[in-house]
Amino acid sequence: MRRGLLGLSQTTLADSLGITFQQVQKYEKGTNRVGASRLQAIAEFLQTSVSFFFEGQETIGTDTENMHGREITDFISTAEGLSLNRSFVRIQDPDVRRKIVGLVKVLGSTAADQDAFEGPATAPT
């Protein structure tokens, strides 16, 4: 996910580590384990902390905090989420950003949510 957020290819990461892009693929899929020193090198190249790779794991904090962390990680882990995030952060106008958030909320809401949002239906007069 972090590599994708930075717009880096597997080959670029592999070259920086002196390994093949296939090895990076295996790390990312979880086929091969990543040693501590290699994980540190990856974190440094991706300009993050090692703890970044453990987000979503059991941590100290409220269940709500953990749930939101997982939601964000799950969202950004998808191609759509990553693309949407990249595009959204490039929008400079705060009004446009608010309107996009409002649109997404409406599109993602259920019929019950819509009723609550619009208020009770009124009978025609």
SS3 per residue for 9-25: CHHHHHHHHCCCHHHHH
Q: Decide: 23 and 14 in contact? Cβ < 8 Å.
A: yes
Q: Tokens 């902390």: give the residue.
A: 49
Query: In this predicted model, which residue has the larger pLDDT, 72 or 109?
Result: 109
User: Is the pLDDT confidence value at 94 over 80?
Assistant: yes
Separation CA 32–CA 13 (nearest Å): 16
Per-residue pLDDT tens digits for 11-52: 999 999 999 999 999 998 889 999 999 999 999 999 998 988
Q: What is the pLDDT of residue 24?
A: 93
Check residue 36 and give its pLDDT. Answer: 93
- Dihedral, CA of residue 113, residue 103, residue 62 and residue 75, to nearest 10: 120
The residue ranking higher by pLDDT, 51 or 114, is 51
- Give the burial class of 74: count Cβ atoms within 10 A of its Cβ; 0-12 exposed, 13-18 middle, 19 or more buried: exposed
Residue 119's pLDDT is what? 54
CA atoms within 13 A on the CB side of 105: 10
Rounded to whole angstroms, the Cα distance separating 80 from 75 reads 8
CA 4/CA 7 separation, integer angstroms: 5
User: Rounded distance, CA 28 to CA 22, Å?
Assistant: 10
Q: CB–CB of 106/97 below 8 Å?
A: no
